[in-house]
Amino acid sequence: MEIRMGRILKFNTDKANEIIQGIEESIAEVLANIQKLIPYTIAWYEHLKAKYSKGRERKTEIRSFENIEAAKVIVANEKLYIDREEGFIGTGLKKAEYLCDCSDIDDVIVFRRDGSYFVAKVSEKAFIGKNVLHVAIFEKNDNRTIYNLVYRDGKAGATYMKRFSVTGVTRDKEYNMTMGTDGSRILYFSANPNGEAEVLRITFKPKPKLKKLVDEIDIAQLAIKGRQSMGNLVTKNEVHKVTLKEKGLSTLGGRKIWFDEDVLRLNADGRGKFLGEFTGDEKILVVDKDGGYQVYSYDLENHFEKNLLSIEKFHPGKVASVVYFDAEQGFYYVKRFQIEVNGGKPCRFIGDDPNNKLVSVTWVTYPRLEIEFGGEKNSRENEIVEVAEFIGVKSYKAKGKRLSSFEVKDIHELEPVIKDEDIKPEEILPPIIDDIPFEIIRSTGGDNDPSQMKLNFE
């Protein structure tokens, strides 16, 4: 036992000495690094970069999501259907009538012909009753969607009209647009996302001493009141029918729209870049970095890709001047064209070759370009191109005109001689659309033979 205990104690002593020596060496190393702190820090970060940088690049994108509500950024990944005959609505009724796109957390507002309405959550299948008048996605605190209504109070009562908005209700609780009298009938109803007001034609049922059987009313003259208001009296005579005579404009003025670059969505809350005030059928123009454009409505449900180059209010008639590199030909081209709405479909304006590269886009009326040459012609004097004189306005599908047959090192956009703010409205002439499918290019045979030309078909 004494021999065994002696060996154990001796072993523990050696191990303890090794531990102590290691601690002392670590302390000495730390003290040395403290004395040379800057070189040690640099070496440490170089070690981290060499170990963790290659093959471990960030694949995510950092964005700010403060104060973002889920209902405003959720993707509308479901389709909503309605079965009017059976009185059902839901995302699972694939064979029924398609209504709109929606998300799992959306609410819908339902109006019936008996004057009742309610708000319910989107589900796979839900019973909403028959005689449905209108169904739409419900947005809480939406004071721009205005409902115009003409109704008869009771079976033989007077006819009233009203304008109201629904900004907030209790879910699954039924409300009434009329005064709730039995036998009330909806004669006219419209839902207007931007507060539009129309002119209606009222036809009365004939009766003795009634000389005027047709009358007109302008909904725009009505004030927008609460959803429980009685409305204004139209007539005490019996009404046969109410029809639409003329669609009207918004009575709320334009809607101010912003673009939030963090979530790539439109909003009316003042977040991000201000795009302008929109009314009626006005559009938004989006140009992407890949050389394409698309025209959108100002619906807040629109989604945008992250590779967009610019987003702004669309002004019909404006001419875009574009410079791009044609990969197949190996030359730079310039073209001018007006934006075509084209049903809201994406349009690529630099050709179908995926290797083509967009250089610049400008909306200046009289743009100027400076061409800097390279290669064997690097000593050649820079050339100034007046784009409006160099090429006419064509379709966005046209190839355009070659800027130069020589190797181009760089292209700079210069300040125009005639600025847009100096042009008077009466001096703006409509662009001449040139539909000729070819362009005339001077031969590359040499500088001394400028008369040689060739046709380049697009």
Name which residue leads in pLDDT, 226 or 187: 187
Domain assignment present for 321: yes
pLDDT at position 270, please?
86
Give tens-digit pLDDT for 236-274: 999 999 999 888 777 777 888 999 888 888 888 888 899
Single out the residue of 364, 339, 333, 326 nearest to residue 287, CA to CA.
Answer: 339
Give the domain CATH number at 200: 2.120.10.90
Residue 344 region, left (φ>0) first, then alpha (ψ -120 to 50), else beta? left
Euclidean distance between CA atoms 420 and 155, whole angstroms:
64
Specify whether 211 is located in the same domain as 90: yes
Specify whether 328 is located in the same domain as 450: yes
Specify whether 220 is located in the same domain as 337: no
Specify whether 222 is located in the same domain as 334: no
> Which of 24-38, 63-77, 268-282, 443-457 is modeled with the greatest confidence?
24-38
Domain assignment present for 269: no
Q: Provide the residue type at 260 as one letter.
A: D
Domain assignment present for 78: yes
- Residues of the domain holding 406: 316-457
Does the pTM surpass 0.75? The reply is no
Specify whether 212 is located in the same domain as 352: no
Domain assignment present for 214: yes
Residue 375 C-alpha from the chain's centroid: 43
Domain assignment present for 96: yes
Specify whether 160 is located in the same domain as 241: yes
Specify whether 230 is located in the same domain as 95: yes
pLDDT at 4 over 70: no
Domain count, the chain: 2
For the record, the structure tokens of 329 come out as 């030909």
Specify whether 107 is located in the same domain as 233: yes
Summarize the confidence of residues 84-88 as an average pLDDT: 91
Asked which of 216, 231, 246 is the last residue of a domain, the reply is: 246
Helix axes 37-52, 2-35, angle to 10 degrees: 100
Count Cβ atoms within 10 A of the Cβ of residue 151 and give its class: 0-12 exposed, 13-18 middle, 19 or more buried: buried
Specify whether 239 is located in the same domain as 97: yes
Specify whether 376 is located in the same domain as 241: no
Specify whether 214 is located in the same domain as 329: no
Asked which of 206, 222, 246 is the last residue of a domain, the reply is: 246
Name which residue leads in pLDDT, 360 or 14: 360
Asked which of 246, 263, 289 is the last residue of a domain, the reply is: 246
Give tens-digit pLDDT for 378-433: 888 999 999 989 999 988 999 999 998 898 899 988 888 777 666 655 555 455 45
Euclidean distance between CA atoms 339 and 315, whole angstroms:
9
Summarize the confidence of residues 304-311 as an average pLDDT: 88
Domain assignment present for 37: no
pLDDT at position 261, please?
87
Domain assignment present for 385: yes
Tell me the sheet residues that pair with 138: 107
Specify whether 100 is located in the same domain as 219: yes
Give tens-digit pLDDT for 36-73: 899 999 998 988 888 888 777 777 766 655 555 555 55
Cα→Cα distances 416→135, 336, 401, Å = 52, 16, 20
Element (H, E) at 18: helix 2-35
Give tens-digit pLDDT for 329-372: 899 999 999 988 877 788 999 988 989 999 999 988 889 999 99
pLDDT at position 252, please?
77
In contact, 187 and 230? CB cutoff 8 Å = no
* Residue 390, CA atoms < 13 Å, CB-side half-sphere: 23
Cα→Cα distances 455→277, 340, 353, 391, 449, Å = 46, 27, 21, 15, 16
pLDDT at 8 over 80: no
Domain assignment present for 206: yes
